[in-house]
Amino acid sequence: MSPSNYRLTKIPEMTIRRLSIYTRCLLQLEEDGVRTISSQELAERFNLNSAQVRKDLAYFGEFGVRGIGYYVSGLKAELQRILGLDREWPVALVGLGNLGSALFHYKGFSRQGFRIAVVFDDDPAKIGREIGGVPIVSTRDLAREVKTRAIQIAVLAVPADGAQAVTDALVAAGIKAVLNFAPARLRIPDSARLKNVDLSIELETLSFYLAQGPR
């Protein structure tokens, strides 16, 4: 099934998010030497909902084989292709403070094919240097660097008050997707996608359970 066969607007964002989770589960199964698995086994092993797994996958095609279930490696490769993880994405990191540095060193990005190709910062002490072989460039040269390197994805780790101006510059330079860590409500034109990461939501899921008292 080619990408044009499924209707993007009908696919819930949570389904996309779960595809990432399924891909991780399949990678682990592959490591463990498991070759085929049913949706029930997959659900039990990773604490998922088997009906949800089938429904999510159904947006993209027929992956199960009657009497066998899913071929672990095959389904993993399909999901990676759907998620765009079958290629390398050069990424621009904007802001090299504590959070930016932590994100630069975050292993999970490169493992999934997201390679930080350039880092932008305003600090004269950092500009012109390198971090892990990656150039640190002045935010003023953002348009040139993004275009030259044909970068489509940016990770934003700047203070809230500068975040909108940087976003505008990124989009003007041709960036199509922004992952925003700045605690700011950003506007982005329809030509690009914005995803805000709110780390406190994760803590709130935990406090919910604590607030209910002992298990």
Residue 117 DSSP symbol: E
Q: Which of 1, 3, 35, 148 binds a second copy (CB under 8 A)?
A: 3
| Residue 17 in contact with a second copy, rule: CB under 8 A | yes
Distance CA 56, CA 51 (A): 9
* Per rule CB under 8 A, count of chain residues that contact a second copy: 63
The span of 97-105, 125-133, 137-145, 161-169 binding a second copy (CB under 8 A) equals 97-105
Reported as half-sphere exposure (CB side, CA atoms, 13 A), residue 59 has a value of 19
Span 118-137, contacts to a second copy by CB under 8 A = none
Distance CA 73, CA 14 (A): 23
Of residues 86 and 141, the one with the C-beta less far from a second copy: 86
Residue 108 host element (H or E) = helix 107-111
Of residues 115 and 140, the one with the C-beta less far from a second copy: 115
| 3-state percent helix, strand, coil for the chain, nearest multiple of 5 | 45, 20, 35
Could you tell me the smallest distance in angstroms from the CB atom of residue 100 to a second copy? 8
| Residue 20 in contact with a second copy, rule: CB under 8 A | yes
Q: Strand 134-138 relative to strand 153-156: parallel, antiparallel, unpaired? A: unpaired
| Residue 19 in contact with a second copy, rule: CB under 8 A | yes
Q: Strand 134-138 relative to strand 130-131: parallel, antiparallel, unpaired? A: antiparallel
Of residues 15 and 73, the one with the C-beta less far from a second copy: 15
The type of residue at 185 is R
| Residue 115 in contact with a second copy, rule: CB under 8 A | no
Contact 113, 87 (CB under 8 A): yes
* Residues within the interface to a second copy (CB under 8 A): 3, 8, 13-14, 16-17, 19-21, 23-24, 81-85, 87, 89, 91, 97-99, 101-103, 105-109, 111-114, 152-153, 155, 176-177, 179, 183, 190-191, 193, 195, 197-213, 215
